[in-house]
Structures are given as C-alpha cells and as structure tokens.
Copies of this chain bind each other. A is one copy, B any other.
Amino acid sequence: MLTIGKLGASAGVKVPTIRYYEQIGLLPEPDRSGGNQRLYPRSTLDRLSFIRHARDLGFPLEAIRDLLSLSDRPDQSCAAADAIASAQLASVRARLQRLKALESELERMVAQCACGTISDCRVIEVLGDHAHCAQDHHGAEPLLA
C-alpha cells in the first residue's frame, strides 16, 4: 500500500493533483488508514501513470476519462481509442500549424527592431496594424486550448 506522497513521487504527479483527480472522479476513492490517510494499492499507480502519460501527450482529462473506461473493457473494439488518439493528433497538428505561422511573424517583428525609440519601433507598429503581417493569423481556435 502506498501513501499519497509515495504514489505521487512514483508517478511523477503532485499530491494536490492526485486529490484533484479523485475529486473529479478520475481516480477511485481509496481506503483510509486509521488516521484517515489515503492508502493506495499498486493498481492505482498504473492508473495514475496512464493518466500522467496521456496528459504529457496533451490529451484533455475528458479524453483520458474515456480512454480509461475503454481500457477497463479489454474485449471491446479498439476503434474508439483509435478515434480519440487520432483526434488528439489532429489537434496537435492544427496547433503546430498555427504556432509556426506565429513564429515567423514574431521573428520578422523582432528582426526588424532597430531598438531606437518607441515611436519607430517595429514591434509596436506591427502590432498596431495587421496589414504589416505576411499571414493571416486571424482568429481560429485559441492557441492555448
């Protein structure tokens, strides 16, 4: 049996995060010690490592919830899991596209800055007028979600 601290250290997850996962139902409520402390079986380490790894790959918690419930039913088709992973791949690719465009725009902006005064600063000027931009990095989904 593992305390929450050992579990977290083993899986590379912070203790409050584990309690948060329990709160949202991603981890089951474990048994408690006499003094009300959580005690986890080994199997929870596997589950938590799975979650951690999926988070590292950028899967949202809701997708991870689905993946976990799939992994509990080994006889079913893998198609659903494949769909979730493919969706994640597509989302990563979309963000890559967008970030690449931003990178080149920012590069141009910084490169052109001669570091004089604000009044002839390219950084400020370009931000003030989208017409200075090579691409249309307009809108689309938020960069950070």
Contacts and interface: CB of A to CB of B under 8 A. Distances in A.
**Number of chain copies forming the complex:** 2
Contacts of A106: 57, 85, 88-89, 92
A103 B109 contact: no
Contacts of A128: 46, 49-50, 53, 71
A8 interface: no
Interface in A119-135: 119-121, 123-124, 127-130
Contacts of A31: none
Interface string A83-124: 011101100110110011011011101100111111111011
B46 A77 contact: no
Interface residues of A, number: 60
A115 B35 CA distance: 47
A121 to B, nearest CB: 4
- Which of A57, A70, A88, A116 gathers most chain B CB within 10 Å? A57
Given A12-B138, A85-B113, A110-B86, A118 B54 contact: no
A102 B113 contact: no
A108 to B, nearest CB: 10
A24 interface: no
A25 interface: no
A110 B100 CA distance: 23
A139 B11 CA distance: 12
